[in-house]
């Protein structure tokens, strides 16, 4: 059993728990022979696809359209915005050769680390007049960054995400887009996946290369460190100018566009989903995202019972498939029911039906909820209704648990001692802050990595007493955390 199941508690050793879940639940394989590049196995790919579909649906509802831009970006595009290239250059993979190596390319091609410099090159062709605005496009792709330290689904050299690139006639519309992006994140990450987050405006020294401002969603992982799972950048006109993206406005004036880009980190959202809802037995998945939503386990000990038990399993499978559920009957004969229970619990299947001779005779089904690890007897005719109910109930349960955990991890602090103590015990600190980068650097060093994550989006600067760290006049209330 130790080979099959998770051997550590999530609360005691999150890092080891996470590694074991990824491997044992069949999500990834890390043995591919290029560092930082992982193999996504079917169970993970189906979860990731479900997350992609959720975002794509929300993005399209709010007027975004899908595109696909080239993977490669020529060096000259990449270098057009100074802060952008400074922020990314160290991490770029370059294609320099083709064929047997005797032929060098006439210029280096970057693998996209992010695609501003690919998109905006074309935006200068596509945007001519106010009629072409707003332009809201997105692509669902991988990006490539030569990260020194990699961790599966959190930081990788090949990283799956969505990038939406929007252009507007005015800065006001761009700022409104940041709120729309926050709302998109809320609808998918919180409403559908049950992952709570803070939506913060990053301090100026921590923004995206080439942005005026960066807003990001931070969730809290089980070990108390935060993970940025999406971000929106107010690019102002910083890319519009070097890429010459202009439009003829209604007033007859030629103007630069205002741009934003939004990046839901699909990979990291999967990491948060796994980590936040998972328990000591493995994954726990909300119904909507589960590759198999209902698994049906036949239980019989005599060959004479096989046919009637399996027959009922097949009938239930038909019933649930007919209602649109992803169902699987696990009729493998080489494994015991107990082995199968453990395997599907490890993989996080939200609902398990157990069908034995007794269930056949009494026209009932034993229904197991993965979230509560609890069984109920349900009559055959009530089953469909009950499954429908569970779909919502399981999500509610996961959301409640996640919210309670999330809120329990945020503490107020007004003194250096409180800040240090909270960060030491894996908490997120909410505190008055002077707003100075030097103070942030000092805090970070003294606390071995505590970072100012930013202010809430609607926050107004003001007089908030004294900075909890340095005692100078505080202008902001900020969140401070150690981060992935």
Residue 131 CB, shortest distance to a copy of itself, in Å, is 7
With CB under 8 A as the contact rule, the residue among 51, 111, 387, 468 that binds a copy of itself is 111
**Cα distances (Å, whole numbers) of residue 85 to 51, 110, 157, 209, 210:** 30, 11, 18, 7, 8
- Closer to a copy of itself at the Cβ: 125 or 303? 125
Q: Does 109 bind a copy of itself (CB under 8 A)?
A: yes
Which residue, 134 or 222, is less far from a copy of itself as judged by CB? 134
For residue 168, give the nearest of 180, 177, 181 by alpha carbon.
Answer: 177
Single out the residue of 349, 357, 352, 351 nearest to residue 310, CA to CA: 357
Q: Are 223 and 103 in contact (CB under 8 A)?
A: no
* Paired tokens of 337: 């029911």
Site for a copy of itself in 158-177 (CB under 8 A): 158, 160
Query: Which listed range, 117-125, 173-181, 224-232, 251-259, lies at the site for a copy of itself (CB under 8 A)?
Result: 117-125
Q: Which residue has the tokens 């905006």?
A: 120
Dihedral, CA atoms, 331, 335, 337, 340, nearest 10 degrees? -90
Per-residue binder mask for a copy of itself (CB under 8 A), 260-289, x = binder: ------------------------------
Work out how close the CB of 99 gets to a copy of itself at its nearest, in angstroms, rounded to a whole number.
5
Write down the least CB distance from residue 321 to a copy of itself, Å: 13
* Choice from 27, 50, 92, 309 touching a copy of itself (CB under 8 A): 92
Find the farthest-apart pair of alpha carbons in the chain and give their distance in angstroms, rounded.
85
**If binding is defined by CB under 8 A, does position 118 make contact with a copy of itself?**
yes
**Distance in Å, CB of 347 to a copy of itself, minimum:** 13
418 burial level (CB within 10 Å; 0-12, 13-18, 19+):
middle
Quick one: 92 or 434, whose CB is closer to a copy of itself? 92
Looking at the Cβ atoms of 5 and 74, the one nearer to a copy of itself is 74
Tokens linked to 304: 């004479």
Q: What length is written for the chain?
A: 484
CB 203 within 8 A of CB 452: yes
How far apart CA 195 and CA 181 sit, in angstroms, is 16
Q: Return the residue of 122, 331, 410, 470 that touches a copy of itself, per CB under 8 A.
A: 122
Nearest approach in angstroms of CB 42 to a copy of itself is 4
Neighbour tally for 33: CB within 10 Å: 5
Of 341, 303, 327, nearest to 387 by C-alpha is 327
**Can you tell me the distance from the alpha carbon of 164 to that of 184, in angstroms, rounded to the nearest whole number?**
12
Q: Which two tokens stand for residue 220?
A: 């809290």
If the CB atoms of residues 251 and 334 are measured against a copy of itself, the closer one turns out to be 334
Q: To the nearest whole angstrom, how small is the minimum distance from the Cβ of residue 132 to a copy of itself?
A: 12
Binding mask 349-388 for a copy of itself (x = CB under 8 A): ----------------------------------------
The answer to whether residue 89 forms part of the interface with a copy of itself (CB under 8 A) is yes
Min dist. Cβ of residue 348 to a copy of itself (A) = 17
What is the C-alpha separation between 280 and 123, in angstroms, rounded?
49
Pairing of strands 158-168, 226-236: unpaired
| Interaction of residue 250 with a copy of itself, rule CB under 8 A | no
Question: Which of 8, 19, 52, 91 forms a contact with a copy of itself (CB under 8 A)?
Answer: 91
CB 400, min distance to a copy of itself, A: 32
Nearer of residues 126 and 205 to a copy of itself, judged by Cβ: 126
Binders of a copy of itself among 25-84, rule CB under 8 A? 29, 31-34, 37-42, 45-46, 48-49, 65-74, 76-77
The minimum distance between CB 22 and a copy of itself, in angstroms, equals 14
**Residue 103, SS3 per DSSP:** strand
Show the CA angle centred on residue 267, arms to residues 263 and 268, nearest 5°: 80
Other CB atoms within 10 Å distance of the CB of residue 9: 12
Site membership for a copy of itself, residue 456 (CB under 8 A): no
The answer to whether residues 6 and 281 touch, using CB atoms and an 8 Å cutoff, is: yes
| Subset of residues 315 to 344 that bind a copy of itself, contact rule: CB under 8 A | 334
Distances (CA, A) of 53 to 30, 47, 66, 140, 230: 26, 10, 12, 10, 16
Name which position in 9, 57, 98, 362 contacts a copy of itself (CB under 8 A): 98
Beta bridge partners of 219: 227
CA distances from 27 to 40, 268, 289 (A): 6, 14, 14
User: Total binding residues for a copy of itself by CB under 8 A?
Assistant: 56
Among the listed ranges 13-21, 118-126, 206-214, 355-363, the one in contact with a copy of itself (CB under 8 A) is: 118-126
Which of residues 12 and 333 has its CB atom nearest to a copy of itself in the complex?
333
DSSP 8-state class, residue 84: H
**What does the binding site for a copy of itself look like in residue numbers (CB under 8 A)?**
29, 31-34, 37-42, 45-46, 48-49, 65-74, 76-77, 89-101, 108-109, 111, 118, 121-122, 125-126, 131, 137, 142, 144, 146, 158, 160, 334
């Amino acid at each position: 059993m130790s080979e099959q199941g998770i051997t550590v508690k999530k609360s005691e050793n999150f890092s080891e728990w996470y590694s074991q879940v990824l491997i044992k639940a069949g999500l990834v394989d890390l043995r591919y022979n290029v560092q930082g590049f992982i193999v996504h196995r079917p169970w993970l790919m189906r979860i990731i696809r479900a997350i992609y579909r959720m975002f794509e649906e929300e993005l399209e509802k709010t007027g975004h359209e899908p595109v696909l831009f080239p993977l490669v970006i020529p060096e000259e595009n990449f270098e057009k915005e100074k802060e952008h290239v400074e922020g990314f250059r160290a991490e770029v993979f370059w294609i320099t050769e083709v064929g047997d190596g005797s032929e060098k390319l006439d210029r280096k091609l970057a693998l996209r680390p992010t695609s501003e410099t690919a998109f905006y090159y074309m935006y200068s062709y596509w945007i001519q007049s106010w009629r072409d605005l707003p332009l809201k496009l997105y692509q669902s792709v991988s990006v490539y960054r030569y990260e020194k330290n990699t961790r599966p689904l959190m930081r990788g050299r090949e990283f799956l995400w969505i990038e939406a690139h929007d252009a507007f006639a005015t800065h006001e519309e761009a700022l409104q887009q940041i709120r729309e992006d926050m709302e998109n994140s809320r609808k998918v990450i919180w409403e559908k996946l049950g992952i709570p987050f803070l939506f913060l405006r990053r301090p100026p020294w921590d923004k995206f290369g080439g942005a005026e401002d960066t807003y990001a969603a931070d969730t809290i992982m089980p070990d108390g460190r935060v993970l940025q799972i999406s971000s929106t950048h107010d690019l102002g006109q910083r890319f519009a100018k070097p890429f010459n993206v202009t439009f003829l406005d209604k007033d007859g004036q030629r103007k630069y566009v205002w741009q934003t880009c939004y990046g839901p980190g699909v990979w990291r959202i999967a990491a948060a989903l796994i980590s936040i809802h998972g328990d000591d037995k493995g994954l726990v998945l909300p119904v909507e995202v589960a590759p198999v939503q209902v698994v049906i386990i036949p239980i019989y000990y005599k060959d004479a019972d096989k046919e009637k038990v399996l027959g009922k399993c097949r009938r239930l499978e038909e019933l649930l498939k007919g209602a649109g559920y992803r169902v699987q009957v696990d009729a493998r004969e080489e494994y015991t029911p107990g082995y199968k229970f453990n395997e599907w619990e490890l993989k996080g299947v939200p609902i398990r039906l157990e069908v034995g001779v007794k269930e056949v005779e009494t026209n009932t089904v034993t229904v197991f909820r993965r979230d509560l690890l609890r069984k109920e007897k349900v009559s055959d005719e009530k089953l469909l209704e009950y499954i429908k109910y569970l779909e919502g109930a399981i999500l509610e349960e996961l959301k409640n648990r996640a919210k309670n955990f999330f809120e329990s991890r945020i503490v107020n602090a007004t003194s250096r001692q409180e800040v240090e103590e909270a960060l030491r015990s894996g908490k997120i600190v909410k505190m008055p802050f002077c707003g100075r980068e030097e103070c942030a650097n000092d805090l970070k060093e003294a606390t071995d990595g505590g970072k100012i994550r930013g202010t809430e989006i609607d926050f107004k600067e003001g007089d908030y007493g004294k900075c909890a760290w340095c005692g100078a006049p505080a202008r902001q209330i900020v969140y401070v955390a150690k981060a992935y």
